[in-house]
Every structure is written in C-alpha cells, then in structure tokens.
Amino acid sequence: MSTAANLLRADLREFAGYKSARSDRITGDVWLNANESAWANDGDAAGACRRYPEPQPQLLCQRLVELYGVAADRLMVGRGSDEAIDVLVRAFCAPGQGAIVTAPPVFGMYAVCARLHGVRVVEVPLVDTAAGLVTDIDAMADTAVAQAASLVFVCSPGNPSGESVDAATIVRLLQRLQGRAIVVVDEAYVEYASQPSLVPLIDEYDNLVVLRTLSKAHALASARIGVAIAQPELIAMIRRCQAPYPLPGPAVVQALQALEPAALAATAAHVEEAKVERARVQAALEATPGVRRVYPSAGNFLLVRFDDAEGAYRALLSSGVVVRDMRAMPQLDDALRITIGRPEDNQRMLAALRPAKDLAA
C-alpha cells in the first residue's frame, strides 16, 4: 500500500468528490447542462465569463507539464499554493485529529489550514547558526514519527529564512518517513535558488509532494495559480477534496500568456536580475549602520536583523517604502523581511535606512 493510501482519511476512501457539469469531457454546441445564463453580462464584452471554467484547464495543464517536466496526471492546479496546502490537510487529517509538523519561523498557511481543521501543529524550530536559520530535518523526522504526524511541511527556499535545503537532506527525510508521513516541499521561490527543484524525485518517492506557483518569479500573484505535483494516486486523492472550479477563466488566460516562450524568456531575465540585486543589496545592508545581521537567501528577499527594528521600520515607512515586519514571529523580534525590488526601489530602501549624516557625506 502506498503512503498516501495508508494515510488517507478512512471516511474519504470511497468518497468521489463533487462531480460538476464540466467534469466529463463532452462535446456539443448547445450547452444546457450547467444552469448558466443564456446571455453574456453587458460588462463582459467577449462573453468569456458566462460559462464555468474547466476544473483542471487542459491547455494550462499542458503548459505546466512542459514547464515542470512532469506528466499531466502528476499535477493539480488550484488557487495558489494555499489551496493545495488546505486540501492536503483535509485529505490526510481527519477533522479534530492528527498532526502536522512545521519548522517556524515559516510561511503561516501551513499552521492556519491545520488549525482551522482542528489539527495539531507540532513545531520544530529553525536553528539559528553561523550559516543562517537552518531546518533540523532529523528532528522533524523524529517528531513526525513520535507524534504520528501525517504531513511534514518543508519550505525551501524558506520564507522568511531564505534557507535552501539540499536534495540529499530531503531524500533522507523521505526515506525515514516512507509509509509514515507525506513530506510537502514548498518551492514557491525555487526559481531564485541555485539548486534545482525536487520535482524529478516525484516518481521515486510516493510520500513527496512539491508545491510550485506562478505568483513569484512569474509575477502572477493576483492570478492565484498554484500547482501540487506528486504521484498520480495522491493527486487523484486531493483533487476529490478540491472545489469544482478552482481557477477563474480570466486568470487562466493570463497564465497562458505568461507561459508563452517570449514571456518565459523575460521571466528568466528578471530572475537573473533579481539575483544580482539580491547580492548587491545584501552587501549594502551589511555595511549599513544599525543592521545587526543579513541572512543569506535563496529567495527574492532578505531577512534582516536590526539594532532598532522599530526605528528602521518607521524610517522606511516615512520614506514610502513598505517592508514586512517579522517581529511577531518566533526568534525574529528584531527582524524585517525586505523583498528585492527594481534597482531604483532598492536604492530608495537603502537610502531610507542611512542616517542623515551619512547622506550628507
């Protein structure tokens, strides 16, 4: 029995999910099966929104197959990575039961989805080392076994840590938890990292799920296009827990345009520019008075500790520069997270952090 089959909620094993009017691939030219309006809205000139969209848009899925190098039955598209996280928790944790393992400080939606479902969140904190904030993978494995957790979430590159967990370490976790727990590797920022995606490991490990998104490097945050990649059996299980029409038609159209060859080339160029700016901004911040530490990052952001984080935050806001205040997160009571912007944006940010006497020099 596969890991997913062993962990799927018992009450969902015969559950087929909702079958919508678009679930079957049928053809016709008079569509009277979905109770849609016979007339387009006057504000919808092309009439594109009158019909319900495909549950898993075929053309978009094909483009994602090409982008990620996987077969179509190994991916599920949804409303950002958030929906994938939610359906994974719902599929593999019975309401009010079970546990997930996370490594805070980390992306908050893992815990939010679990707690809304009544599932325990067991935390294995990141370890602050000379190399940066580091995931204790062996401790996560031990905790997952001891707590009978069904899901272990690893964010790599980490948000907000910037840490990139190497593939060999993830493989060790997968092997330790084979048959016991599903390892969910969130690769929202992997395009900015130097090491490759773990997607090629999917066929080898039935307890691996990789999350990808078009929100970050592909600059489609508002379109909300997320992808879960895993073996076909697991994908079929979580699709049964998904809403029937997860992606609005206009968002799909936008995504298709963003995945054309010319757009992909532009995206690759922007990613490379962001990497160059990341290195430049890190060096500049490290030379800025009042900056205590800048963590290395494999994402499009930097985690920065300040002697006076409140003063730095207010100085940035007064200059019209908005960054993420991380001080409410564990271990980060003196930290801000700064996204890498365009060179001119980064210059405004750096200038806002420099004392007036330095600017006059």
Q: Is the pLDDT of residue 134 over 60?
A: yes
Q: Is the pLDDT of residue 359 over 90?
A: no
What kind and span of H or E run contains 91? Answer: helix 80-92
β 335-339/301-306 pair status = antiparallel
pLDDT value at residue 358: 54
Q: How many structural domains does the chain have?
A: 2
β 75-79/151-155 pair status = unpaired
Residues 312 and 233 in one domain: no
CATH code, 179: 3.40.640.10
Residues 65 and 171 in one domain: yes
Tokens for 339, please give them: 């996204």
- What sign results for the dihedral spanned by CA atoms 329, 330, 335, 340? negative
30-42 pLDDT, tens digit per residue, is 888 888 889 899 8
Do residues 16 and 237 lie in contact, with contact meaning Cβ atoms separated by under 8 Å? no
β 75-79/99-102 pair status = unpaired
Of the candidates 207, 227, 259, which is a domain's last residue? 259
Q: Is the pLDDT of residue 356 over 50?
A: no
278-305 pLDDT, tens digit per residue, is 999 999 999 999 999 999 999 999 999 9
Residues 199 and 338 in one domain: no
Q: Is the pLDDT of residue 357 over 90?
A: no
User: Across all residues in the chain, what is the average pLDDT?
Assistant: 95
Do residues 303 and 316 lie in contact, with contact meaning Cβ atoms separated by under 8 Å? no
Overall average pLDDT of the 144-173 stretch: 98
18 pLDDT tier (thresholds 50, 70, 90): confident
Report the percent of the chain where pLDDT is more than 90.
86
CATH code, 340: 3.90.1150.10
Residues 157 and 64 in one domain: yes
Residues 201 and 329 in one domain: no
19 pLDDT tier (thresholds 50, 70, 90): confident
175-207 pLDDT, tens digit per residue, is 999 999 999 999 999 999 999 999 999 999 999
Domain coverage including residue 169: 3-259
Do residues 49 and 249 lie in contact, with contact meaning Cβ atoms separated by under 8 Å? yes
261-278 pLDDT, tens digit per residue, is 999 999 999 999 999 999
Residues 140 and 244 in one domain: yes
Residues 238 and 330 in one domain: no
